[in-house]
């Protein structure tokens, strides 16, 4: 059956040029299915798009790269909170795969992966296609754990959105916030560790508070949190007290924040047996590796896929590399920057294996920026190395409380520059 794919005139020409270039490309080593070596990448986010681009670019046409992603447009989860706060338009988060197809000769397939045959080294899609691979890269992001929040499942996401997969959910949550009645209550159910973007829920609280301060200043924000502490806690709490005094209340596990349930029909949040009426409820459940990683039996019975720190290859199947949110790789947080950094290491290792080119030592970095209020930006990050025990931190940094307005504004501007850079790195 013919694959549904993104087709561009320039993509056709680019594919012809890429095919011609194989005449002078390095000899492909170990192509399991004969002919040109094949890499299939599942998931078109910060990990998958970056991996596909770097493999196609660095193999100089010697490796056939297929990127499978069901969505024709990718909305970044990172910076989506700034849309909620009114600092960005939703279209600034939307990006296409056209350049990957037209400029890099990547076969972009918009479809769902339904199965992986690890013995045959094939990937099956919903439209009936079967794609062979010599190396498979899985970067599907996160899924939610069933039953993690009593009373909530994905069928309730329109009443109580998670907005932790960007796009329509992000737009829905912003619309709900803007429609809140005067003096209403916005509630968040925060996730337990580990989860995508550790500062993300608390930046979201800051952005919702920013909107409510301007449009609904008597509204309240309630956070039900199962964690004892959270990323950048001192910075966020300082910012909330400075910019949104009296608006935000966090209930931690000691006060019942871990003993809760929701009722989407009644719009209530019950904490430690007390039902609280709410107007908006942002439920961010416990997370697990993307479903296709679980279906491929790569998690060893856990929530995440264990991988080698040296090349992100699965410890279950070395022909498969698992990137980003779905990987249990060590000390790196689950973030877009982390996935992008891991993708480059995996891509270098894959190209080296398939073409005989040089493999460089694995090095990683990550920074997570958060906006608390207008030009009040903070950050946390680290550099990392690969070890036999996993990816290990070489040392980190974090913004300090009490920083000047000039420092915070510079941090925010730094984050804007990073966003532009990583989008170029992902999509060309």
How does DSSP assign 297-329, residue by residue? T-STTSSSEEB-TTT-BBSS-TTEEE-GGGEE-
- Does residue 253 sit in the same domain as residue 295? no
When pLDDT is averaged across residues 268-280 and rounded to a whole number, the result is 97
Please give the pLDDT value at position 16.
32
305 in Cβ contact with 313 (< 8 Å): no
In a domain, 306, yes or no: yes
When pLDDT is averaged across residues 144-173 and rounded to a whole number, the result is 97
Q: Is the pLDDT of residue 3 over 50?
A: no
Please give the pLDDT value at position 35.
85
Largest CA distance in the chain: 71
Closest CA to 373 of 282, 247, 261, 242: 242
In a domain, 389, yes or no: no
Q: Is the pLDDT of residue 1 over 90?
A: no
In a domain, 92, yes or no: yes
Residue 136 belongs to a domain with what CATH number?
3.50.50.60
In a domain, 245, yes or no: yes
- Does residue 136 sit in the same domain as residue 164? no
Q: Is the pLDDT of residue 388 over 50?
A: yes
- Does residue 251 sit in the same domain as residue 311? no
Q: Give me the percent of the chain exceeding a pLDDT of 70.
A: 92
- Does residue 169 sit in the same domain as residue 212? yes
Of the candidates 237, 263, 285, which is a domain's last residue? 285
- Does residue 250 sit in the same domain as residue 179? yes
Q: Supply the range of the domain harboring residue 75.
A: 9-143+288-361
The total domain count for the chain is 2
- Does residue 31 sit in the same domain as residue 96? yes
| Model pLDDT for residues 185-197, shown as the tens digit of each residue | 999 999 999 999 9
- The lowest-confidence range among 4-18, 202-216, 382-396 is 4-18
Of the candidates 259, 285, 311, which is a domain's last residue? 285
210/204 Cα distance (integer angstroms): 10
Task: Write the Ramachandran bin of 30: left for phi over 0, alpha for psi from -120 to 50, otherwise beta.
Answer: left
- Does residue 159 sit in the same domain as residue 45? no
In a domain, 393, yes or no: no
In a domain, 374, yes or no: no
Rounded to the nearest integer, the mean pLDDT of the chain is 93
Of the candidates 239, 270, 285, which is a domain's last residue? 285
- Does residue 59 sit in the same domain as residue 131? yes
- Does residue 51 sit in the same domain as residue 78? yes
What are all long-range contacts of 410-418, with beta carbons under 8 Å and residues at least 24 apart? 410/377, 411/369, 411/377, 411/378, 411/379, 412/369, 412/371, 412/375, 412/376, 412/377, 413/377, 414/369, 414/377, 414/379, 415/369, 415/371, 415/377, 415/379, 418/337, 418/367, 418/369
When pLDDT is averaged across residues 316-327 and rounded to a whole number, the result is 98
| Model pLDDT for residues 218-264, shown as the tens digit of each residue | 999 999 999 999 999 999 999 999 999 999 999 999 999 999 999 99
409/383 Cα distance (integer angstroms): 23
Q: Is the dihedral of CA 188, 191, 196, 202 positive or negative?
A: positive
In a domain, 407, yes or no: no
| Model pLDDT for residues 197-216, shown as the tens digit of each residue | 999 999 999 999 999 999 99
When pLDDT is averaged across residues 362-380 and rounded to a whole number, the result is 98
In a domain, 385, yes or no: no
- Does residue 23 sit in the same domain as residue 113? yes
Q: Has this prediction a pTM greater than 0.85? A: yes
Please give the pLDDT value at position 8.
32
- Does residue 294 sit in the same domain as residue 222? no
- Does residue 279 sit in the same domain as residue 292? no
């Amino acid at each position: 059956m013919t694959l549904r794919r993104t087709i561009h005139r320039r993509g056709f020409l680019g594919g012809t040029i890429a095919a011609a270039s194989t005449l002078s490309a390095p000899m492909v080593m170990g192509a399991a299915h004969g002919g040109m070596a094949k890499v299939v990448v599942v998931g078109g986010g910060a990990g998958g798009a970056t991996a596909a681009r770097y493999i196609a670019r660095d193999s100089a046409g010697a490796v056939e790269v297929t990127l499978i992603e069901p969505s024709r447009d990718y909305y970044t989860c990172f910076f989506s909170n700034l849309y909620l706060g009114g600092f960005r338009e939703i279209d600034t988060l939307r990006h296409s795969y056209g350049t990957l197809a037209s400029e890099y000769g990547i076969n972009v397939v918009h479809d769902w992966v339904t199965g992986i045959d690890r013995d045959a080294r094939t990937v099956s899609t919903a439209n009936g296609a079967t794609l062979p691979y010599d190396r498979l890269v899985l970067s599907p992001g996160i899924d939610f754990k069933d039953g993690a929040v009593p009373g909530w499942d994905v069928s309730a996401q329109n009443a109580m959105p998670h907005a932790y997969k960007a796009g329509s959910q992000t737009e829905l949550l912003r619309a709900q916030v803007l429609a809140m009645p005067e003096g209403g209550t916005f509630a968040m159910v925060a996730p337990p560790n580990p989860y995508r973007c550790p500062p993300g829920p608390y930046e979201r609280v800051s952005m919702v508070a920013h909107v409510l301060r301007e449009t609904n200043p008597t509204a309240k924000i309630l956070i039900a949190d199962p964690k004892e502490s959270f990323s950048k806690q001192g910075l966020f709490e300082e910012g909330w007290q400075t910019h949104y005094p009296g608006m935000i209340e966090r209930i931690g596990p000691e006060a019942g924040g871990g003993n809760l349930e929701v009722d989407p029909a009644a719009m209530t949040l019950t904490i430690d047996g007390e039902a609280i009426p709410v107007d908006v409820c942002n439920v961010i459940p416990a997370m697990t590796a993307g479903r296709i990683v679980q279906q491929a039996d790569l998690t060893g019975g856990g929530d995440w896929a264990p991988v080698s720190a040296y090349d992100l290859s699965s410890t279950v199947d070395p022909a498969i590399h698992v990137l980003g949110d779905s990987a249990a790789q060590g000390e790196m947080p689950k973030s877009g920057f982390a996935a992008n950094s891991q993708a480059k290491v995996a891509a270098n290792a894959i190209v080296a294996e398939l073409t005989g080119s040089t493999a460089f030592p694995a090095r990683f970095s990550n920074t997570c920026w958060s906006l608390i209020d207008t030009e009040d930006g903070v950050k946390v990050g680290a550099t990392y190395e690969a070890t036999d025990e996993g990816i290990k931190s070489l040392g980190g940094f974090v913004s300090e409380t009490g920083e000047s307005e000039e420092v915070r504004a510079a941090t925010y501007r730094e984050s804007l520059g990073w966003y532009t850079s990583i989008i170029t790195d992902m999509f060309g």
